[in-house]
Amino acid sequence: MTEEILQQDLKHIKLPDGSIEKTTTTLNLGPTHPATHGVFQNILEVDGERIVSSEATVGYIHRAFEKIAERRPLYQVTPLTDRLNYCSAPINNMGWHMTCEKLLQIETPKRVDYLRVIIMELARTADHIICNSVIGVDSGALSVFLYVMQYRELIYEIYEEICGSRLTTNIGRIGGFERNFNATAWQKLEKFLNEFPKALKEFENLLQRNRIFMDRTIGAGPISAERALNYGFTGPNLRACGVDYDLRVHTPYCSYQDFDFKIPVGTTGDVYDRWLVRNQEMWESLEIIWQAYQKIQEFKGQEAEVYHANVPEYYLPPKQDVYTKMEALIWHFKIIMGETDIPAGEVWHSVEGANGELGFYLISDGGRSPYRLHFRRPCFIYYQAFPELVKDSMLADAVIVLSSLNLIAGEMDA
Amino acid sequence: MGLTNERIRERLVEKFGESATGFSEPFGMLTFEVPKEMNLKLLQFLYDDPELKFRFLTDLQAVHYPDNKGRELAVVYHLHNLTDNVRIRFKIFTDIENPDVFTATRLYECANWMERETYDFFGVNFVGHPNLKRILNVEEMDYFPMRKEYPMEDQTRIDKDDEMFGRGGTI
Amino acid sequence: MARPVRFNISPKPRDNEGHISLVDAPPEGFSGEGFFTTKLSEVVGLARKNSMWPLPFATSCCGIEFMATMGAHYDFGRFGAERMGFSPRQCDMLMVMGTIAKKMGPVLRQVYIQMSEPRWVIAVGACASSGGIFDSYSVLQGIDQIIPVDVYVPGCPPRPEAILDGVMAVQDLVGKESIRRRNSERYQQLMLSYGIQ
Q: Which residues contact B56 (CB under 8 A, 6 or more apart)?
A: A229, A232, B79, B80, B81, B82
| CA atoms of A397 and A353, how far apart (whole Å) | 26
Cα separation, B132 vs B105, whole angstroms: 11
Q: Who among C73, C99, C134 is closest to A68 (CB)? A: C134
CA–centroid distance for A326 within its chain: 40
Q: Which residues of B touch A224 (CB under 8 A)?
A: none
pLDDT digits (tens, 9 = 90+) for B35-88: 988 889 999 999 999 988 899 999 999 999 998 888 889 999 999 999 888 999
Nearest to A149 among C71, C103, C107 (CB): C71
Gap between the Cα atoms of A39 and C108, Å rounded = 11
A327 and A350 together in one domain: yes
Beta carbons of A64 and C156 less than 8 Å apart: no
pLDDT at C4: 61
Least confident of A29-38, B40-49, C42-51, C179-188: A29-38
Chain B partners within 8 Å of A342 (Cβ): none
When pLDDT is cut at 50, 70 and 90, the band that residue A17 belongs to is confident
Model confidence pLDDT, tens digit, residues C18-39: 555 555 666 778 888 988 888 8
Fold exhibited by the domain B5-127: Beta Polymerase; domain 2 (3.30.460)
Contact A374 B29 (CB under 8 A): no
Average pLDDT over residues A57-81: 90
Residue C196 has a pLDDT of: 83
Residue span of the structural domain in which A39 resides: 2-57
Distances (CA, A) of A15 to A2, A9, A21, C174: 19, 12, 11, 44
Instruction: Give SS3 for C134.
Output: coil
Question: For the purposes of burial, counting CB atoms within 10 Å of the CB of C97, is it exposed (0-12), middle (13-18) or buried (19 or more)?
Answer: buried
Give yes or no for residue B7 having a pLDDT over 80. yes
In this structure, are A157 and A137 located in the same domain? yes
3-state secondary structure of A384: helix
Q: How many whole angstroms separate alpha carbon C189 and alpha carbon C197? A: 10
Task: Kindly indicate the confidence band of residue C1, based on its pLDDT and cuts at 50, 70 and 90.
Answer: very low
Chain C residues touching B138 at Cβ < 8 A: 102-103, 138
Residue in A93, A79, A92, A67 with CA at minimum distance from that of residue A369: A67
The CA distance from B13 to the nearest CA of chain C, in Å, is: 44
Residues A47 and A146 in one domain: no
Is C136 in Cβ contact with B163 (below 8 Å)? Answer: no
Q: What is the pLDDT of residue C16?
A: 58
DSSP, res A317: P
Q: What is the Cα–Cα distance from A90 to B87, expressed in whole angstroms?
A: 26
Q: pLDDT by residue (tens digit) across A198-228?
A: 999 999 999 999 999 999 999 888 999 999 9
Neighbouring-strand partners of residue A364? A345
Whether residue A49 is found in the same domain as residue A76: no
Of the pLDDT bands very low, low, confident and very high (cuts 50, 70, 90), residue A362 is very high
pLDDT of residue A1: 55
B60, β-bridge pairs: B77
Q: Both A23 and A76 in a single domain? A: no
A285, amino acid identity:
S
Is the same domain home to A160 and A112?
A: yes
The predicted-structure confidence for C96-140, as pLDDT tens digits, reads as follows 999 999 999 999 999 999 998 889 999 999 999 988 888 888 898
Q: Give the H/E segment covering residue B31.
A: strand B30-33
What is the reported pLDDT for A204?
92
Q: Give the span between the Cα atoms of A401 and B40, in whole angstroms.
A: 33
User: Nearest Cα to A365, choosing from A101, A103, A76, A64?
Assistant: A103
Contact between chains at B63 and A67 (C-beta distance less than 8 A): no
Closest residue on chain B to C104 (Cα): B138
CA-CA-CA-CA torsion sign (B142, A383, A374, B18): negative
Q: Does A329 touch chain B (CB under 8 A)?
A: no
ipTM: 0.91
Q: What is the pLDDT of residue A9?
A: 63
Separation CA A280–CA A109 (nearest Å): 30
**Contacts with A383 (C-beta within 8 Å, 6 or more apart), sequence order:** A40, A56, A58, A405, A407, A412, B113
The DSSP bridge partners found for residue A187 are none
Residue B147 CB partners (closer than 8 Å, separation 6+): B64, B66, B121, B122, B123
Cβ atoms within 10 Å, residue B153? 20
Q: pTM for the complete prediction?
A: 0.91
Set of chain B residues whose Cβ sits within 8 Å of the Cβ of A241? none
pLDDT tier for residue C178 given thresholds of 50, 70 and 90: confident
At C93, give phi and psi (nearest 5°): -125, 125
pLDDT digits 0-9 by tens, B140-155: 888 899 898 888 887 7
Q: Which is it for the CA torsion B99, B105, B111, B116, positive or negative?
A: positive
Distance from CA of C112 to the nearest CA of A (A): 12
C190: distance to nearest CA of chain B, Å?
Answer: 19
Out of A12, A40, A57, a domain closes at A57
CB A255 within 8 A of CB A114: yes
Contacts of C86 in chain A (CB under 8 A): 32-34
Q: Classify each residue of C135-149 as buried b or exposed e, where b means 16 or more C-beta atoms within 10 Å of its C-beta.
A: bbbbbbbbbbbbbbb
The β-bridge partners of A372 are A363
A79 interaction partners in chain C (CB closer than 8 Å): 133
CA angle A156, A158, A161 (to 5 degrees): 110
Please state whether A106 falls in left (phi above 0), alpha (psi between -120 and 50) or beta. beta
Question: From C141, which residue of chain A is nearest by alpha-carbon distance?
Answer: A63
CA distance A212 to chain B (A): 34
**Same domain, residue pair A150 and A276:** yes
Residue predicted with more confidence, A9 or A26: A26
B125-152 in b/e form (b: 16+ CB < 10 A) is bbeebeebebbbbbeeeeebbbbeeeeb
Rounded distance, CA A58 to CA A53, Å?
17
Q: What is the CA radius of gyration of chain A?
A: 24
CA distance C70 to chain A (A): 9
In the complex, which subunits touch A with 3 or more CB pairs below 8 angstroms?
B, C
CA A132, A136, A141, A146 dihedral sign is positive
Q: What is the DSSP string of B70-101?
A: T--EEEEEEEEETTTTEEEEEEEEE-SSS-EE
What is the spatial distance between Cα B45 and Cα C153, in angstroms, rounded to a whole number?
Answer: 56
Does C57 contact chain A (CB < 8 Å)? yes
User: Which of C87, C92, C111, C90 minimizes the C-alpha distance to C100?
Assistant: C111
Nearest CA in chain A to C88: A32
CA-based nearest residue to B126, from B108, B137, B136, B112: B112
- C107 contacts on B by Cβ (under 8 Å): none
Taking an 8 Å cut-off on Cβ atoms, the answer to whether C1 and B164 are in contact is: yes
Alpha-carbon gap: C36 to the closest alpha carbon of chain A (Å):
41
Sequential DSSP letters for A228-250: HHHTT--THHHHTTT----HHHH
Question: CATH no. for residue A91?
Answer: 1.10.645.10
- Contact state of A361 with B76 under an 8 Å Cβ cutoff: yes
Answer yes or no: is pLDDT of B170 > 60: no
The model's pLDDT over B87-107, given as tens digits with 9 standing for 90+, comes to 999 999 999 888 999 999 999
Measured CA angle at A120 (ends A114, A125), to 5 deg: 125
Q: What percent of chain A has pLDDT over 70?
A: 97
- Average the pLDDT over each of A40-54, C2-16, C24-38 and give the range with the smallest value: C2-16
**Chains with at least 3 CB pairs less than 8 angstroms from chain C:** A, B
Same domain? For A281 and A406 the reply is yes
CB C120 within 8 A of CB C93: yes
A78 and A142: one domain? Answer: yes
Indicate yes or no: CB of A232 within 8 angstroms of CB of B57: yes
Among the listed residues A240, A94, A113, the one whose alpha carbon sits nearest the alpha carbon of residue A173: A94
Residue A143 pLDDT grade (very low, low, confident, very high; cuts 50, 70, 90): confident
Cβ atoms of residues A60 and C59 within 8 Å? yes
CB count, 10 Å around CB of B103? 19
Q: What share of chain B is helix, strand, coil (3-state, %, to 5)?
A: 25, 25, 50
Residue A200: the pLDDT is 93
CB hemisphere CA count around B117 (13 angstroms): 27
Average pLDDT, chain A: 89
pLDDT above 50 for C141: yes
Mean pLDDT of A231-247: 92
Q: What is the CATH number of domain C51-158+168-194?
A: 3.40.50.12280
**Closest by Cβ to C139, choosing from A34, A63, A410:** A63
Domain ranges of chain C: 51-158+168-194
Residues A269 and A207 in one domain: yes
Interface contact flag, C64 A38, Cβ < 8 Å = no
Decide if A85 contacts A354 (C-beta within 8 A): yes
Residues of chain A contacting B61 with CB distance shorter than 8 Å: 361, 374
CA A141, CA C70: separation in Å to the nearest integer? 16
- How many contacts, defined by CB atoms under 8 Å, are there between B and C? 47
Give Cα A284 to chain centroid, integer Å: 17
pLDDT at residue B171 in the model: 43
